[in-house]
Structure 1
Amino acid sequence: MGLSDVLRLIEEKLGAGVWRCDAAGQMQWSRGFFGLLGLDPHAVAPSYTEIQRRIHPDDRGPNRDPSELMTERTLLDGEFRIVRPNGALRWIHCHTEVLLDSEGEPECVLGIALDITAQRRLLQTLTIDAERYSALAQVAGGVLWIGSSDGRITALPNGEKRPDAQRFYGKGWVDLLHEEEREAALRSWTASVETGRPYSIEHRLRQPDDTYRWYRCTAVPVTNGDGGIREWMGISIDLDQEKLSVQHPETSRLTGAQLRAARGILNWSVKQLAARTGISSAIIRRLEEYDDAPPMPDETMETLRRVFSDAGIEFLFPTVGKPAVRPRQ
């Protein structure tokens, strides 16, 4: 097998072609390069003009003299689309090198072209998937995270700009959980990591300003071909408003715990609350002894509600969890 036969075999197997252009702008093409352009070597003469004609209009550069290839390699360097005579569209990657003569002067330009259509199609598919992935994250409105097979968080695809992002990595997320949900969340996560069962739990998560918000955290395993867990893909969705949504606050009964908390937020003493409401200190103390709703006349309850509301306090009666109190937002 001669060298020309080896070149032909390589071009056929790799979808490649070679061209050469001398200082006068005269070109030579290999059989493989003719094939890349979809041209018949017996019907078309090699030329820079013919290459330009085959390049997709959107990728085609300005008309230049082929002799400029000696000094301007970018004329045919890089990736571009070509349109074959039968209308087929192909992506080509072309790499050029200037070869020098014995005097150190440019003698010719050698180009190697590869058909990268398959890689481009794969890249397009990956790009579409990435865009869908990003759109899905926006629609869900949550923080996406990736965990290792042993349960450590390794990446936050759409949460890297969070001021507290670094605190999530590894096992750091555990310290951000509210202490009342921490043990249950960790126990559930450990069980999922060990069994491969999907993980789903609701918990409060500490924010950068040290307040807490409710999240629904869900994760599923991503497996290898042998069924082993390669990593975990999870999303944490903020459901604080849902959790703390007020259910008929006008008819909900205030609890003693809410009264204590509201007075604490305002830093009022019992005497100060009594002065603002006209309710005796003894009655207020007795009402605050209850954690749940104490027995009190509707008039008393409405007076307390009004005074606290005027002071900027909001009473919450969530669908799940205990009644709560917070400054009005």
Structure 2
Amino acid sequence: MFDLLEGGTETFDVIERELRCGFWRWNLRTNEMQWSRGYYDLLGIEPGKVTPSFAAILQVTHPDDRGPQAEVERIIQKASTIRRKFRVIRRGGNIVWIYCQIIIFVDLDGSCERALGICTDITGREDQLNRLRLADERYRALIKATDGVVWVAKSDGQIHEVINCDHSGELQAAALGSGWQQFIHPDDRENVKRVREAASREKRSYDVVHRFRQADGAFKWKRSTGQPVLDDAGNIKEWLGISFDLERDTAQSGTHRVTGAQIRAARGLLRWSVLDLARAAGTTRSTIRRLEEQDGASSHSDPAVPSIERALSKAGVEFLFPAAGKGGVRPR
């Protein structure tokens, strides 16, 4: 290795260039340092322009990384193997990340006599890690903005991760796997199961309204949406979903409210039965019948209304809300 470093053979130059790496050797007794051609390239310094030294390396090191780099000389005296990554500012302002492993050689008395640095350009890896970190930060910021609980489940629906959950750690752990089912209101459990199974068979997203038990034992209306993540063959790898309080969603919706008469008329246009609409909206037949008995608008706080309106609109119905008179429906 030392012969190659000193000789700078064509073969060695090719290896350094292709692997984007470089080497340096430091005689700790004479303080003399040698750099390979590849290490000059990593630093962005033309061979012969500077005398190889640790001080010369610090000159081109990013200011934020100079402190840890300056510690290297002190740590070397302890004969410890050192691993460092640092940034170098090349001419023109181009910044390059370098990973360096320093191996210490000692004499028979145990005193440090020389060090060998093996360095690699890791800029591409660091850029990729930064992009991943940024994407993760944006993802978590989006979760906070929705104020919902995001969950990740295996292809079979077994939840293995819950994010942004306001429940205690004990309750959150209990919801993992298939444990989440015990938190669904008994009257809604079968409907949620049926909607999820249908979406799994058809490899599509689903949207279902249900009640969810809170830490104090009370139930709160939730809207849960699941989206399958498919592999290249079109098979479900996992599910990504979000659940949020429906009361908050409906309370902040628009001023127009669908009436029971509009729901009946929309079903008539589509030739849907009460059961058809219940399945499409992820609710129950009794809920549909109760809402249709009201000729006027239902309460803003009724959690099933947005899902019903969404299901009917998706099926091809347009709801009309004139400035004066009763609301109506028509084919889209």
What is aligned with 2:22?
A: 17
Equivalent residues in 2 for 1:1-329 (5 A)?
Answer: 4-23=9-28, 24-61=30-67, 68=74, 70-71=76-77, 77-159=83-165, 162-241=169-248, 318-320=301-303
3-state DSSP class of the match of 1:61?
A: helix
> How big is each residue's C-alpha offset from its partner over 1:189-217, in whole Å with a ceiling of 9 and x where there is no partner?
11112221101101001112211011110
CA contact (8 A) 1:25 1:66 kept: no
> How big is each residue's C-alpha offset from its partner over 1:275-305, in whole Å with a ceiling of 9 and x where there is no partner?
xxxxxxxxxxxxxxxxx9xxxxxxxxxxxxx
In structure 1, C-alpha distance between the alignment counterparts of 2:11 and 2:75, rounded to whole Å: 28
In structure 2, C-alpha distance between the alignment counterparts of 1:88 and 1:223, rounded to whole Å: 39
CA contact (8 A) 1:61 1:75 kept: no
Letter in 1 for 2:110: G
Q: Percent identity at matched positions?
A: 35
Give 1:38 shift: 1.1
> How big is each residue's C-alpha offset from its partner over 1:131-183, in whole Å with a ceiling of 9 and x where there is no partner?
11110110100111001111111111333854411121111111211111111
Which 10-residue stretch deviates more, 105-114 or 71-80? 71-80
Give 1:227 shift: 2.2
In the superposition, the TM-score normalised over structure 1's length comes to 0.69
Larger radius of gyration: 1
Provide the aligned length of Structure 1 versus Structure 2. 252
In structure 2, C-alpha distance between the alignment counterparts of 1:138 and 1:318, rounded to whole Å: 23
Letter in 2 for 1:220: Q
Q: Which runs of 5+ in 1 are unaligned?
A: 246-291, 293-315, 323-329
In structure 2, C-alpha distance between the alignment counterparts of 1:321 and 1:203, rounded to whole Å: 9
Give 1:126 shift: 0.5
Letter in 1 for 2:149: V
In structure 1, C-alpha distance between the alignment counterparts of 2:73 and 2:226, rounded to whole Å: 60
Q: CA RMSD in A?
A: 3.0
| Structure 1 residues 88 and 320: alpha-carbon distance in aligned structure 2, compared to 1, 3 A threshold | closer
CA contact (8 A) 1:177 1:206 kept: yes
Give 1:75 shift: 12
CA contact (8 A) 2:195 2:206 kept: yes
Give 1:6 shift: 4.9
Give 1:317 shift: 8.2
In structure 2, C-alpha distance between the alignment counterparts of 1:150 and 1:63, rounded to whole Å: 50
Which 10-residue stretch deviates more, 79-88 or 213-222? 79-88
CA contact (8 A) 1:145 1:153 kept: yes
CA contact (8 A) 2:27 2:115 kept: yes
In the superposition, the TM-score normalised over structure 2's length comes to 0.68
3-state DSSP class of the match of 2:67?
A: coil
